[in-house]
Amino acid sequence: MANRGALVHELSTAFTTSRRRRKSDGGDSPPAGSARPDMQANIQQFLAMPIDQRQQALAQQQALTGSVNQSAVESGLSPDARTLLGLAESTDVAMAPAADMFEMGVTVQVLKRGTMFAQRGHRLADFYRRYNSLEEAPPEELKNLETTALGRSVADIWADTEAFFANTDPSQVERAAADPKHRMALVFRWYLFTGSQWARDGNTARRGDYQIWCGPAMGAFNQWVRGSFLEPVEARTVRQIALNLLEGAATVTRAGQLRVAGVPMPAAAFDFRPRPLG
């Protein structure tokens, strides 16, 4: 918290000095491009607050994060999967079929770097659209799908799936017996669902099938933390991620307010880098 206090003091001093300089020059009105008088008054009122009150006021401006927490040690992902996330760029994202809404064509954002899950998921979705049952497809095409996408035979997958639903939801087994297309959907949903489990367990033999939810923000975060203590995924905790995002947002926002008020601000004031906090 010492860094925060020092920065607040420095910016407050700069603001006060700038105001005094303008008054000594005989100009009570702000220069062109600066804030309105009411905005300046708000900024002055904020800077006049004790530091703990400023922190509380800024904390009310909350930041909602999603993808970046996937790489945190508390996320439940295996170290192997989190390492892949730590290498992601903003463009390393793809859409893949959602396991729970596969038949409706719903998709989710997933990591595409280091895994083939998105491509293989789309192959399953295309196969599902073209055929009404697994038996309807040419045998050689089904065999290719088993080898290059599913990684197991359809018979083995269905045996596990049938046993699972027999204990949890027998109506699914009954429906599959009457509707071959539903049986095909359950087989494909096995792959889509298990991809997440492989990523959580760190099953490196199925690394190419990891389903890791990820958006472009993950790549932007990786770029921001590069060269800092948060670059290694082993150091990424939810607490440090949140504190640094809030601290950085508060610092840049504060610098922006002062610049709007007419205070010359160096470029370094807008370049907050992660550091251990709290």
What pLDDT, in 10s, does the model give residues 111-156?
Answer: 999 999 999 999 999 999 999 999 999 999 999 999 999 999 999 9
Q: Does the residue 231 lie in any domain?
A: no
Distance CA 276, CA 278 (A): 7
Q: Indicate if 175 and 114 belong to the same structural domain.
A: yes
Which residue range forms the structural domain that includes residue 119?
Answer: 93-213
Q: Residues 114, 194: one domain?
A: yes
Q: For residues 52 and 106, state if they share a domain.
A: no
Q: Any idea which residue has 């300046």 for tokens? A: 40
Does the CA dihedral 51-56-61-65 come out positive or negative? positive
Same domain (yes/no): 110, 207: yes
Is the domain of 120 the same as that of 154? Answer: yes
Token couple for 21: 């300089």
3-state SS, residue 110: strand
pLDDT surpasses 70 at 103: yes
- Do residues 145 and 201 share a domain? yes
- 30 versus 47: which is more confidently predicted? 47
If asked whether residues 149 and 116 sit together in one domain, one would say yes
Pair 61, 159 in one domain: no
Is position 218 within any domain?
A: no
- What total number of domains does the chain contain? 2
In a domain, 143, yes or no: yes
pLDDT tens per residue, range 169-180: 999 999 999 999
78 domain residue, yes or no: no
Query: Could you tell me the CA-to-CA distances from 250 to 10, 56, 69, 95, 222 in Å, in that order?
Result: 15, 11, 20, 33, 20
